[in-house]
Amino acid sequence: MPEILTNSPCPLLPAITRPVCAADSRALGRERGEAFYRLCLEYAQTKWMAGLPAQSLLQLNRAMSARLRGDEPSLEEYPIPYGAVAWMLTARPDRKGQFLANPRRHWQHYATRMSGPRSELRSWRAWACYAIASRILPHPDFPHDVEQVAKESLIMPQEQEIAAMLADLGLSGEARLWLQILEK
């Protein structure tokens, strides 16, 4: 069943000519490079336009897990989607039924429970998204998980540490891109 499009497209994601679905993702098989990255961005756009902002953010997480070298043409047009994350959090619809969840809490959990390929980089990208969400979303409505902080003696990374780790582990210019988005 095709998704009903209710939101205007995110200008920082690729335009779609048709809604992307899970079958499109499965058709890529184990490929996790540029085609996967681009498809995840298009899937995020589909979910956003369908009024599913939380699912759209999950697709941006998937895009950030792609195996990229940094010289892919798609990255020139659509860099690591920190800007799309910020745009979606800022433009979040205040419409009934458009479930956003708590992105701060989500990225806190995602960063601290990461596993699989490139998990260290993916964890720091999650912390980068957590920092964006912390700046944009009102804290009383979108708190971090204080129980996890207490139970696990979790020390939240400072923005300078996130930038340093993105510079060390991420793509060329990724830390600079993230800092630019963070400061907007």
Residue 7 lies in a domain: no
Over residues 52-76, the pLDDT tens digits come to 999 999 999 999 999 999 999 999 9
Decide if 16 is inside a domain: no
pTM: 0.93
Question: Is residue 86 a part of any domain in this protein?
Answer: yes
In a domain, 15, yes or no: no
Highest mean pLDDT of the ranges 12-26, 80-94, 140-154, 158-172: 158-172
Which residues touch 11 (CB under 8 Å, ≥6 apart)?
87
What is the tens place of the pLDDT at every residue in 92-129? Answer: 877 677 888 999 999 999 999 999 999 999 999 999 99
Within a domain: 14 = no
Report pLDDT for 1. 42
Boundaries of domain holding 74: 22-183
Q: Is residue 36 part of a domain?
A: yes
| Residue range 159-175: mean pLDDT, rounded | 98
Report how many domains make up the chain. 1
Residue closest to 37 by CA, chosen among 1, 71, 10: 71
